Structure 1
Amino acid sequence: MASSTEKEKVTQVPTGLWRHRDFRNLWLGQTSSMFAAHMVAVVFPLLASVSLDASLFEMGLLSAAGYVPYIGVSLFAGVWLDRKPKRAIIVLCDIARALLLLAIPLAWWRDLLSVPTLLVVALLVGSFSVVADVGSASILPALVGRDDLIEGNSKLELSASSASIAGSALGGGIFQLLAGPVSMLINTVLFALSAFFTALIRGERKPGGGHEDAEGTEGTEGGEKPSQSIWRDMAVGVAFVTGHVTVRTLVLTTLVINFFMAIAEPVALVFVTRTLDIPPYTVGLILAASGAGALVGAVIAAPMSRAIPLGRLLILTAAITGIASLLTPLATLVPAPMAVALMIAMYVLDAAMIVVYNINVRSYRSAITPDDMQGRMNAANRMAGMGVMPIGAVLGGLLGTAVGTLPALVLASLGTLTAPLLLACTHVRTVKRVPELEVEPSA
């Protein structure tokens, strides 16, 4: 049971982490990395389409390169991160991404840049990004107390939302301002900055209670982890996620939400541009509302978590996400100006609620996972959540072709609503706040 001091701490306005040196360095590093990642996500397809005249098939391969590492690398990354200091691995990934992106302007200068070269670089950068992504989610509980997880995740999500809006815009602007391949130099610098700030972290707790020392070596507290097969470690990680009833439930509901959102994504663009006949510049405005909604979600996540019990908050945000998605098919029943307003409202509300949901779910999962399982738990979650997205996208295209865009969107929305129903049928609905570590996972 939480002490009165702990309860009082939860009700305070969450501003303390700005005074936490290691968190500040993590935040600065992650913010720089997020901006670079969003800029790269814009510049890579522009390079392929504008500079290299890639075919539609090649563009599809480039898009798929962003998902493949989540399926093939995640579990290995989780084991690696649980065996070694996470700070050093994140720094290594940032340096690797900086050097790989530096290869783009060098290849262009030597007249060697081609679509296959871009695909290889994209796949390698994506692989290091998966490791860094899992590492950044896993290191936070090793730097701050569990009562600070929601505040820390909120601040990181605020950076992610800002990077989504500004990073994407900067990526296109810098590409247009500079010669396309040369624009990669900006991202090289950003990843290098991320490595620099992350390297300044000194207080990472070692699994078992120890710390890294200033040189990045492990402390002596807690003992060494027994050496065993990487496959065995992966199996233990998967067994933890599938065997712990709470973690399993949270991973499953996230998978359900991502799957049905992926089904809706390709159908929605066709629906907006063809069924609603909305012009391209207005479509851009509608899509930009998603970034604005994410920013709102990052700001309101902590206040909502203090005002509403955790279990009810997760059910509420997941339900609002599903209900908000119904505004898209509803837009076909109203005049064009109202349709645009409904679409903007949908993207703002949907993104805001997803961010609030993600921050609280991420904090909840981290709080109930032992330190030496953080990497594997986050890796399994990433693999499951991201791995279903290409499957959902393909099924969305097939479903839209078979039954039409409007029915496909309604079915995807109804599918999303199964996530809050799933949560409501479990013990999660009774959880009041982010709990202390559950030492014995439930069967």
Structure 2
Amino acid sequence: MSSRPHHLRSTTAMNVTSGSDSRAPQRGVFSRPFCLFWLASAISSLGDGITRVALPVLAIVELHASDFEVSLIVAVSYAGVLVIGLPAGPLAQRFDLRRLQITLDSVRAAAVLTVPVGAAVGVLSIAQVLIVAFVVSLATTLFDVANSAFIPTVVAPQNLLASNNALSGIFATSAFAGPALGGVVVHFLGPANSMFADALSYVASFLLLAGIARNPSGAAEPEICSGGQIRLSLRYITGHSIIRASVLASSLVNFANGALMAVIPTFLVRTLGLPPGTLGLVLATQGLGALCAVLLLARVVRRAGDAPVLLWSVTATAFFAALLPMTVSSGALPVFLIALAGAAAGVTALSVITRTHRQLVTPPPLLAPVVATVRFITWATLPLGALAGGIAGQTATPHAGLIVAAGAAFLAAVALWRSPVRSIRRLTDAKETSTGPPATHETTH
């Protein structure tokens, strides 16, 4: 979801745009670098979707984990952002972004492979699963920052919305196909051996990213950022009312997502009594909702403007999240599925619109630290939400965890309704009186 600040433009960004006559064809959505980038993301996302089913089933069925232990696995899976979320920007810009992503894919593949190996030799435990989840979380946190900062070097600025929509489309498709495929793979191979698929997806991503030329846009490499730029990015984020509100809303939505990810597997398997193999089909409805949002989003934004679409998307997310606790038996499963799909559609719109906005308005020298800082703020709430949902589910009932998620989604909608988003048509139309980072030789008003 994910899910930024003052409208400063860098001279570098303006030069790329104004001088893009010779580069635009090579930096379009259908260029070879972006196609390789897109395919790497697609395969890796598909593997992640399989693991979304395999890991909780492994914990519930084979390791006999408690509700809280399942939520702890979810929390640890996102705890990396708490550890290196802020310094991820400075770390990412100290390396070639493409090579860094390749290295991190290798680390993630090796970590995930230890799960089926541990199961094969009979030593797999909750502790090992937690360690693997944490290592992958650390690598993913740094990978995603490098990945987001790498996109603007692959496509031209005017193609960012289309490229982000294309990426969200494949993520939505994978969110639908991955869990569905995961249910089948888990049924035939078992949850531990299913982790091989995720490891292979990281290897495929490694090979595809290796096929992209270094710095494909021909633009200058971003400067190495420092701790001072983290403070600068914080000022940049908090100095813009639209970004400030969208970051708050994204944080609350991610808190709700964390609670849902922790509660849904145990709720479906232990409360509703569904077979573990069907968990993937239920989770796949989220991908279906996200895919519908992607297919409609660009057209709706063109007609209505991104600000109203953002506002009503978050409102719809809150509405559908409120339906989830109403499911009290397997007979109400259709309501649960509709609510999951609707909430996922709203979150997808929120993610695409806010990500595109910050990529467009953030000066290139600050892009990586801003991406890292926003990711730290918004994703830090995921493990907190998972723990809150898990504790509520363990001490009361899984319905209590669903109520926690619904409450956080409602507060996210309130945050945007109380912001200037409600009175503008385009996010870039907001009139800001505060300033972002002070102008330097790198930026211009």
The alignment's TM-score, normalised by the length of structure 1, stands at 0.76
* 1:68 counterpart residue number: 79
* TM-aligned CA distance change 1:29 to 1:266, over 3 Å: closer
Structure 2 match to 1:304: 300
Cα displacement (A) at 1:168:
2.0
d(CA) in 1 for partners of 2:133 and 2:282? 28
1:289 to 282, 285, 292: 285
**Aligned residue in 1 for 2:414:** 418
C-alpha change, 1:260 and 1:45, in structure 2 (3 Å) is: closer
With over 3 angstroms needed to count, the CA separation of the structure-2 counterparts of 1:129 and 1:329, relative to structure 1, is closer
- For 1:173, the aligned partner's letter is V
Aligned to 1:250: 246
> In the alignment, what sits opposite 1:215?
none
Are positions 1:432 and 2:426 aligned together? yes
1:35 maps to 46
SS in structure 2 of the partner of residue 154 of structure 1: helix
Q: Is it true that 1:187 corresponds to 2:187 in the alignment?
A: no
Equivalent residue number for residue 157 of structure 2: 146
Out of 35, 39, 45, the residue aligned to residue 24 of structure 1 is 35
- Contact residue 164 and residue 356 of structure 2 kept, 8 A: yes
1:191/1:393 CA distance change after superposition, 3 Å: closer
Q: Shift of the alpha carbon at 1:30?
A: 0.8
Match of 2:436 among 426, 432, 441: 441
Label 1:104 to 1:258 Cα distance change in 2 as closer, same or farther (>3 A).
Answer: closer
Distance 1:241 1:350, change over 3 A: same
Q: Is this contact kept in 2: 1:325–1:350, CA < 8 A?
A: yes
Aligned match of 1:349:
342
Match of 2:106 among 66, 90, 95: 95
Q: Distance in 2 between matches of 1:164 and 1:66?
A: 17
Shift of 1:57: 5.6
CA contact (8 A) 1:267 1:409 kept: no
Instruction: Report the counterpart of residue 235 of structure 2 in structure 1.
Output: 239
Residue type matched to 1:307 in 2? R
Equivalent in the alignment of 1:376: 369
Identical residues among aligned pairs (%): 25
Answering whether residue 219 of structure 2 is matched by residue 210 of structure 1, we say yes
Change (3 A) 1:343 1:370: same
Distance 1:48 1:141, change over 3 A: same
Q: Partners of 2:66 and 2:326 in 1: how far apart?
A: 35
The answer on whether the counterparts of 2:53 and 2:280 sit within 8 Å (CA) in structure 1 is no
Q: 2:132 aligns with which of 109, 115, 121?
A: 121
Q: 8 Å contact 2:73–2:130 — kept in the other structure?
A: yes
Kindly provide the amino acid, as one letter, of the partner of residue 251 in structure 2: L
How many residues align? The count is: 404
Q: Is the 8 A contact 1:48 1:54 kept in 2?
A: yes
User: Would the aligned equivalents of 1:245 and 1:441 in 2 still touch at CA under 8 Å?
Assistant: no
Cα shift readout 1:242-280 (whole Å, capped 9, x = no counterpart) = 334443332122113333555677788899999xx8663
Q: Distance in 1 between matches of 2:345 and 2:272?
A: 24
Provide the secondary structure at the position in 2 that maps to 1:62: helix
CA contact (8 A) 1:22 1:143 kept: yes
Give the C-alpha shift of residue 394 in structure 1: 4.7
Equivalent position of 1:155 in the other structure: 166
Report deviation, 1:364. 0.6
Q: Counterparts of 1:72 and 1:85 in 2: how far apart (Å)? A: 22
Q: Distance in 2 between matches of 1:141 and 1:30?
A: 15
Shift of 1:146: 2.3
Please, which of 353, 359, 368 is the counterpart of residue 360 of structure 1?
Answer: 353
Hey, what's the Cα distance between the residues in 1 that align with 2:422 and 2:91? 30
The AA in structure 1 aligned to 2:420 is T
Among 371, 379, 391, the alignment partner of 2:384 is 391
Determine the C-alpha separation between the residues in 1 that align with 2:48 and 2:417: 34
Counterpart amino acid of 2:339? M
Q: 1:264 to 1:185 in 2, by over 3 A?
A: closer
Match of 2:179 in 1: 168
**Is the 1:260–1:416 Cα contact (8 Å) retained in structure 2?**
no
Coordinate RMSD, CA, aligned: 3.9
Partner in structure 2 of residue 200 of structure 1: 211
Q: Structure 2 vs 1, CA of residues 272 and 62 (structure 1 numbering), >3 Å: closer, same or farther?
A: closer
Amino acid at match of 1:426: P
- Point out where structure 2 has 5 or more consecutive residues left out of the alignment: 1-6, 8-16, 18-26, 439-445
User: Higher relative CO (CA 8 A, sep ≥ 6), structure 1 or 2?
Assistant: 2
8 Å Cα contact 1:261-1:416 kept in structure 2: no
1:296 deviates by: 0.7
Equivalent position SS for 2:213:
coil
Cα 1:239–1:294 change in 2 (3 A) is same
Query: Distance between the aligned counterparts of 1:433 and 1:362, measured in 2?
Result: 12
Change (3 A) 1:291 1:93: same
More off after superposition, 78-87 vs 19-28: 78-87
Once the two structures are TM-superposed, the CA of residue 94 in structure 1 deviates from its matched residue by 0.7
Match of 1:355, as an amino acid? T
